[in-house]
Amino acid sequence: QKEVEQNSGPLSVPEGAIASLNCTYSDRGSQSFFWYRQYSGKSPELIMFIYSNGDKEDGRFTAQLNKASQYVSLLIRDSQPSDSATYLCAVNESNQGGKLIFGQGTELSVKP
Amino acid sequence: GAVVSQHPSWVICKSGTSVKIECRSLDFQATTMFWYRQFPKQSLMLMATSNEGSKATYEQGVEKDKFLINHASLTLSTLTVTSAHPEDSSFYICSAAWAGKNIQYFGAGTRLSVL
């Protein structure tokens, strides 16, 4: 059973702090890794994707990938109350034509 | 960015009726579309994968005769919930990806309530 594990939270951080979200996956053949943000009652929105080991930065967001450890993370710098949402980690299922395996999501709460 | 339109955004129907949900890729050709269901406080559950011009591939436990999927063109896929019952009430979300890309872009979702 291929799995993606996330801490469900809630993760609470003060406004302006760095929020760190973590994810581990079991499928060693996975090549593509995604972070989606989902506000309550809404559909997921793509935040970041990463394919190679190391860091990828986009504005206040940094995705980090370590394939050897089967670990992917998302850092949110200067967290804002509007960042409060559930963050879904998704990993492509190898040899399955683009199918993604989603984690349960981490609920982030940024306190003003 | 890639835009996926899903319609309707919410629907209320009586038990036993059928409901059709449309998913359109507006600015790209979607070779593959995915249909998910999400219950409150749970993650996305993939129901089926749909490729243009071919039959959908359903996940284990998903009744293909209950959830009819059609992907007739590179920009449109439809999900029909046939003979809906209250237990089918859920948030249905489609996503679309184009050839050679693993990136899925999601529609806004359809909230179905079956009375």
Residue of B nearest to A51 (CA): B102
d(CA A13, CA A92) in angstroms, rounded, equals 29
Q: Name the range with the highest mean pLDDT among A69-73, A91-95, B99-103.
A: A69-73
CA–CA–CA angle A102, A107, A112 (5° rounding): 150
Flag if A49 and B103 touch (Cβ within 8 Å): yes
- Closest CA–CA distance from residue B91 to any residue of chain A (Å): 9
Which positions in chain A touch B104 (Cβ < 8 Å)? 34, 46, 90, 98, 100
Identify the pLDDT of residue B81. Answer: 97
**Percent over 70 (pLDDT), chain A:** 100
- Considering only alpha carbons, which residue of chain A is nearest residue B97? A98
Give the whole-number percent of chain A exceeding pLDDT 90.
88
Cα A23 from chain centroid (whole Å) = 7
Are the C-beta atoms of residues A87 and A37 closer than 8 Å to each other?
yes
- With an 8 Å Cβ cutoff, the interface of chain A facing chain B consists of 31-32, 34, 36, 42-46, 49, 88, 90, 92, 97-100, 102-105
Which range is least confidently modeled, A32-36, A79-83, A87-91, B23-27?
A: B23-27
Q: How far is CA A99 from the centre of its chain?
A: 17
CA distance B17 to B21: 13
Instruction: Pick A43's closest partner by Cβ from B32, B46, B93.
Output: B93
Partners of B1 on chain A (C-beta within 8 Å) are 46
CB A49 within 8 A of CB A32: yes
State the CB neighbour count (10 A cutoff) for residue A6: 22
Average pLDDT for chain B: 92
What's the rounded Cα separation, in Å, for the pair A68 and B89? 41
Pairing state between β B105-106 and B67-73: unpaired
**B108 and A43: CB-CB below 8 Å?**
yes
Average pLDDT over residues A68-91: 97
